[in-house]
Amino acid sequence: MVFKFEKFLFSFIVILSVLFVGLNIMNKNEVLSTVSNGSSNETKLVNSDNYLKAGVIKMSLSSTKNVKILVNGEENFNYTLNDNIMTLAVSDKDVVEVDLRNFKEGTLDVLILKVSDGLLNPQVSQKYQFSKGINKLFDVKMN
């Protein structure tokens, strides 16, 4: 009796797993229902205005020793650093900060060298200067 129940339970779990995998494959293109205007139109997520609005910012730092760049308060983000030139991947409405709590030199100078098309803020040639603490560099704004 117990063996039959275990066999049934195992078969049931396997069938449910296969069913969930199949449904997941069929639903690979997520759909957003528009509710703002009350219509029943649907928009694929990849066609949504807010889906993956991203850009790249290239900036020069006067020093990188004991300097941390934070994106939305996090240190782990997508960037490259070569000879005090940081290339940073950002999304719309990201907040970029500089953490100078362990910075021993006088001031840190930051210069925006290049931004992707569609980025409204920051702008090329903007300069920032900081000395201590955690400071907000800029809010990313895209059109």
Contact 140, 129 (CB under 8 A): no
Q: pLDDT band at 114, cuts 50/70/90?
A: very high
User: How many other C-beta atoms are found inside a 10 Å radius of the C-beta of residue 121?
Assistant: 13
Contact 120, 143 (CB under 8 A): yes
Chain segment 45-88, per-residue pLDDT in tens: 555 555 567 899 999 999 989 999 999 988 877 888 899 999 99
β-pair type (79-82, 85-91): antiparallel
Give the pTM.
0.62
pLDDT of 30 reads 55
* Burial group, residue 88, by CB count within 10 angstroms (0-12, 13-18, 19+): buried
Residue type, 61: L
Residue 22: in which H helix or E strand, if any? helix 2-26
Residue 9: in which H helix or E strand, if any? helix 2-26
Q: pLDDT band at 28, cuts 50/70/90?
A: low
Residue 95 bridge partners (DSSP): 139
How far is residue 112's CA from residue 86's CA, in Å, rounded to a whole number? 10
pLDDT of 128 reads 95
